[in-house]
Amino acid sequence: MPLNDKVSQAVLAIQQATNWQDKYRQIMLVGKVLAPLNETFKVEAAQVKGCESQAWLYHYQEADKHFFCADSDSRIVKGLIAILLDATHGKTSAEITSFDLERYFSHLGLSGQLSPSRTNGVTALANAIKQFAAT
Amino acid sequence: MTKAFEHDAIRAQFPTLSQQIDGQTLCYLDTAATSQKPQSVINAVNQYYQLNNANVHRAAHQLSARATRDYEAVRSQVQGFINSNRVDEIIFTHGTTESINMVAHGLTAQFDKDDIILVDTAAHHANIVPWQQLAKQTGAIIKPIPLNDDLTIDVDAYEQLLSLAPKLVALTHVTNALGTVNPIIELTQKAKQAGAITLVDGAQAIAHFAIDVQQIGCDFYVFSGHKMYGPTGVGILYGRYQILDTLTPMLTGGEMIKTVSFNGTEFGSLPNKLEAGTPAISAVIGLGAAISFMSDLPSDLVEQHEQTLLHYLQQQLDQLGDISLYGAGPNNVGVVAFNLAGEHHQDVGILLDQQGIAVRCGHHCAMPLMQHLNLKGCCRASIGLYNNKQDIDLFIDALRKVKELLL
């Protein structure tokens, strides 16, 4: 089950973008599709550490499928989260565990955003998602 | 003889600067984090490993004698560079952070409960956290020195705090987040009159103008090699001999002793007493080359060049519009702190990076200052002597594109 058709379309547009402006415009647009988290949920306990920006991640499970709510105060990070969720939201533990983050991002032409030395926290978010799916 | 200042020729000595990032000219505006290194520094480190590699202070053979001679020659160079009174007042450390930790640790036994420590609100964490640790162990009290609206130190409030007779005052020569230059001689003199021990963090000052520790009159002055065109892994702790000699060594072991037996150990004298273990010899040699590099340049023209660039940078940012500048004054040095409208500093940083622009975005290890400014963080562009007008133009042009995309 895709997160949202709009997200999936935008992810395609990111892949097809020919310059950094288009790519990042699309990333920020896809972030807007995610509903903003209510301020009362932006608490430290839900924060994913390892981001220069603030990012919050919530998880719930229905039957064998995992669902996520997330937000960030950075527009680009929020877009990157939406891209992550497009690949993981509504998936089973097995699907999420076998999800190859590096391949997925490099397919989108975004592998530069993934190195552990980057402070955008995408790797930390992906690890947090995998941790939820594993428990 | 007047020293030449051919800027293109100076810039050409920095090999990292001529590279491309994703097909774009690298525009390095992150010197406040670390400076690039001239070829002469790289060569000096290389040469040490190729020709003279041996441990120092164990001069039983020629290589070790050469290594020790070169290592100790840098100590004398540093003494001259900051005009300290004695060569054994210069301690090699791993950097500013270690230097401050050594002082805080070394003075702990001299502190009592309720002793007061004054700390600059705009200080780097390295000049806050070691004092907090000292306070935790001794029951001493930390009091932040308030800032004026223009983010300079509030001297009236500072004088009031000094009337409490603090035991120690930790000052910043140039703030790393904003580039504010504090009136360090005045601040130090006032602290001394109040009977306080004084430490000055010079990490952001040392690359930009001449330092004279005797003129400043502080008890301790600390800085890092890597911010002054030298290698990482070496820093300086300058201490006035009488007080430096009272520090309890943070590290104990080899090199720092006079005699060791299982009945007890007698420490050696300064500077060895505070340099336990094998030091970062190659980095020290590289630091010597960095000092030579800087000393060969006409410092007045270098300063003028940097100030002209910084003013141009401040002015261009201001003209771009939708930019908030923080504490940007005409007397600042090296650094401009800014945000683009209400945009997240990280978004701005990511989009600048897409264009080959290297700036730092974050809290700049100055969270108390960010809290004071009510900011999550900001972007910081900082310059070194190798930057030119073209760097600023590239940066402003890139930021304009970021602005078009975000706003």
Per residue in B87-113, pLDDT tens?
Answer: 999 999 999 999 999 999 999 999 999
Task: Please compute the mean of the pLDDT values over residues B272-289 and round it to a whole number.
Answer: 97
pTM as predicted = 0.95
Return the H-helix or E-strand segment holding B5.
none
**Residue numbers in A near B361 (CB within 8 A):** 52
The residue written with tokens 């990280």 in the block is B346
Alpha carbon distance B390, B387 (integer Å): 8
Task: Identify whether the C-beta of residue B216 lies closer than 8 Å to the C-beta of residue B185.
Answer: yes
For chains A and B, CB pairs below 8 A equal: 40
Q: In this complex, is the C-beta atom of A54 within 8 Å of any C-beta atom belonging to chain B?
A: yes
Q: Is the ipTM of this complex over 0.95?
A: no
Listed by number, the residues of chain B in 352-371 with a beta carbon closer than 8 Å to a beta carbon of chain A are 354-355, 361-362
> What's the confidence (pLDDT) of residue A1?
42
- Assess whether pLDDT exceeds 60 at residue B124: yes
- Taking only the tens place, the pLDDT of each residue in B142-176 is 999 999 999 999 999 999 999 999 999 999 999 99
Alpha carbon distance B194, A112 (integer Å): 54
Alpha carbon distance A125, A105 (integer Å): 13
**Residue numbers in A near B346 (CB within 8 A):** 52-53, 74, 76-77, 119-120
Tokens of B164: 């409490």
Q: Which of A3, A27, A51, A101 is catalytic?
A: A51
Tell me whether residue B2 is exposed, middle or buried, using C-beta atoms within 10 angstroms of its C-beta: 0 to 12, 13 to 18, 19 or more: exposed
Listed by number, the residues of chain A in 96-115 with a beta carbon closer than 8 Å to a beta carbon of chain B are 113
Mutate which: A23, A32, A47, A53, vs B, most B CBs within 10 A: A53
Question: What is chain B's mean pLDDT, rounded?
Answer: 96
- Taking only the tens place, the pLDDT of each residue in A56-70 is 999 999 999 999 999
Could you tell me which residues come within 8 angstroms of residue B155 by beta carbon, excluding any fewer than 6 positions away?
B183, B186, B187
Could you tell me which residues come within 8 angstroms of residue B269 by beta carbon, excluding any fewer than 6 positions away?
B88, B258
Q: In this complex, is the C-beta atom of A26 within 8 Å of any C-beta atom belonging to chain B?
A: no
Assess whether A69 carries a catalytic annotation.
no
Q: In this complex, is the C-beta atom of B339 within 8 Å of any C-beta atom belonging to chain A?
A: no
- Assess whether pLDDT exceeds 90 at residue B184: yes
Tokens of A56: 């919050």
The residue written with tokens 């397919």 in the block is A107
Please name the member of B362, B376, B405 whose beta carbon is closest to the beta carbon of A24: B405
- Taking only the tens place, the pLDDT of each residue in B323-363 is 999 999 999 999 999 999 999 999 999 999 999 999 999 98
Q: In this complex, is the C-beta atom of A22 within 8 Å of any C-beta atom belonging to chain B?
A: no
Please name the member of A20, A21, A77 whose beta carbon is closest to the beta carbon of B346: A77
**Residue numbers in B near A113 (CB within 8 A):** 350
- Assess whether pLDDT exceeds 90 at residue B60: no
Tokens of B255: 């090199």
Q: In this complex, is the C-beta atom of A52 within 8 Å of any C-beta atom belonging to chain B?
A: yes
